[in-house]
Chains A and B, each alone.
Chain A
Amino acid sequence: MFRLPNFFLVVLVRPSAWRFPLIIPVPLFLVDELLEIGETLYRLLGKRRVPLKWRESTNKAMQGMRRIWRSTRRAGSFTLVDIEAGGVRVWVRLV
């Protein structure tokens, strides 16, 4: 089934005294691009500098990060975290 990927990570912060929450949207496609840039830089510059014994685990970690990121974006809209402490409520939503 085709599902639209998530486009934003939205952080909402609301102290109990506030009427409306503070909304901080983080565009996920920008994070996507940053990951892509990081990978490219690693391939172009960093790969040869990483010792051979670390290279395989670095590759695995990068592949893993990409995989986790992909499944996060494809998981559909959901509330990742909802914290209520000391009169402040914080939500992190993926939309």
Chain B
Amino acid sequence: MGAPSLDSEIDLKEGLVVENERLQILKLVQEGKVTPDEATKLLQALEGKGGESAVATGSGKLLRIRVTEGRGTKVNVNLPMSLVEAAVAIGVKFVPEEELRGIDINALLEAIRQGVTGKIVEVDSEEAKVEIYVE
């Protein structure tokens, strides 16, 4: 019998998170803090979340990096937000806290997820122009 793959471990962890959240909602109903109607809506939202992967949030949006040089060189890199989120989630684990200098990566990602679009970075120098935007 082989060891379970990391893929199945991630699926299992995501399933457990959704299950815990479901139990919390039911507990809130039991305590009378949430009405059954509200709980139904919350559970429906949760089912939607469980249906897709947690890493698929923000899907549909692209982080576009565009570099233009004077000599006709053009570089376009498009990264789906789901990929950016996954990469950031991993990158943050390896970057020391002091290196982040108070930048709240989660807040940034949350803002993008909530619908912030457009140009987020523009560097214009004599040699090249760099633009980063969310579409």
Chain A residues within CB distance 8 Å of chain B: 1, 36, 39-40, 43, 57, 60-64, 66-68, 70-72, 74-76, 78-86
Contacts and interface: CB of A to CB of B under 8 A. Distances in A.
Contacts of A84: 72-75
A57 B94 contact: yes
Interface of B: 2-3, 5-7, 9-10, 51-53, 55-56, 59, 62, 72-80, 82-83, 85-87, 89-90, 93-94
Given A60-B93, A70-B53, A83-B75, A39 B6 contact: yes
Contact of A74 (B6, B51, B56, B94): B56
Contacts of B87: 64, 68
A83 B3 CA distance: 42
| Most chain B Cβ neighbours within 10 Å, of A62, A83, A86 | A83
Which label, helix, strand, loop or mixed, suits the secondary structure of the A interface? helix
Given A62-B6, A66-B6, A70-B7, A75 B72 contact: no
Contacts of A75: 59, 80, 82-83
A57 B93 CA distance: 9
A62 B6 CA distance: 8
A48 B60 CA distance: 41
Nearest to B90: A64
A69 to B, nearest CB: 9
Contacts of B6: 39, 62-63, 66
Given A39-B5, A64-B93, A74-B82, A82 B52 contact: no
Contacts of A43: 3
Nearest to A44: B3
11 contacts: A66-B6, A71-B83, A72-B80, A74-B55, A74-B82, A79-B78, A81-B77, A82-B76, A83-B76, A85-B73, A85-B75
Contacts of B94: 57, 60-61
A61 B87 CA distance: 11
Contacts of B72: 84-85
